[in-house]
Amino acid sequence: MIVTLIQLILSIIAGLAVGFTLGLIGGGGSILAIPLLLYFVGIDNVHYAIGTTALAVGINAYINFISHRRKNKLNVKAGTLFSIIGIVGVLIGSSIGLLTNSSSLLVLFSILMVGIGIYMYIGKRNASKAHEKDNSGNIYPKVGLFSVLTGFASGFFGIGGGFLIVPALMYSAKLEINEAVGTSLLVVGTFGVVTAIRYGFSGHLLYTVSLFYIIGGVIGGVIGTRVSTSMEKNRLRRIFAVIVILVGFYVMAKTLLPT
């Protein structure tokens, strides 16, 4: 696939936006990576968009994880365990995703975007209660189950599935919301890189676009991480949730309605 200079410049801008949201709200920021590459940068092949953004967002998530670790309390042990077990789900999900036609992938992705946007808008108020539901017993079976399921979603939908990781960490590893947000970046990074490797082997990865996405993402991540310490997160999440819902409906309309 031929990529123009303008598309590379737009990739930097798109990467900056994704990196900013990753630094601001954790793994949920990855949800916009694929729509931006498809409709803003103009990479009109869904499988290329998934593979390319997976690599870029994965590396940016690792970088943002290091920044968060210096400033916030994280659970590296839980994040590492979640990442390693979830690789199984990532490989299964990405393999099935490569066999799924583009239109079906986008419709399913848009439905998931709307659903997660609604959850983010109305569900975060109960986040602390969700954490308190179970404070006893062995967490490893839950971590294993949730990591495989979220890994499958991340591999199937591309790194956009990463927005499931924060609530999954809270329910399975019993992390507080702030701890889960930073820890999720380690998982998003691992799931993204593994997804990219799988898509790379099939030839669906634009390395140059990923590089420019990463450059923008590094800049955006630094800004987002700094801003996250000074802004009220619940309000940010509600604003971001509305954006996710609107983009979800846009992706659905672009896919289903005749042009």
Q: Can you read off the two tokens belonging to residue 230?
A: 């000074």
Percent with pLDDT over 70 in the chain: 87
Look up the domain containing 42 and give its range.
Answer: 5-256
Average pLDDT along the chain:
84
Percent with pLDDT over 90 in the chain: 37
Q: How many whole angstroms separate alpha carbon 181 and alpha carbon 175? A: 9
Which position has the token pair 């799924």?
Answer: 100
The whole-number pLDDT of residue 136 equals 47
Helices (H), the chain: 5-25, 33-35, 46-71, 76-99, 102-123, 127-132, 140-157, 165-173, 177-201, 207-228, 233-256
Specify the 3-state DSSP secondary structure of 100: coil
Taking only the tens place, the pLDDT of each residue in 9-41 is 999 999 998 888 877 776 666 778 889 999 999
Mean pLDDT check: name the lowest of 113-127, 148-162, 184-198.
Answer: 113-127
Taking only the tens place, the pLDDT of each residue in 162-219 is 667 888 888 888 888 778 878 888 998 899 999 999 999 999 999 999 999 999 988 9
Among 152, 61, 43, smallest CA distance to 102 is for: 43
Domain count, the chain: 1
Q: Please indicate whether residue 57 or residue 128 has the higher confidence score (pLDDT).
A: 57
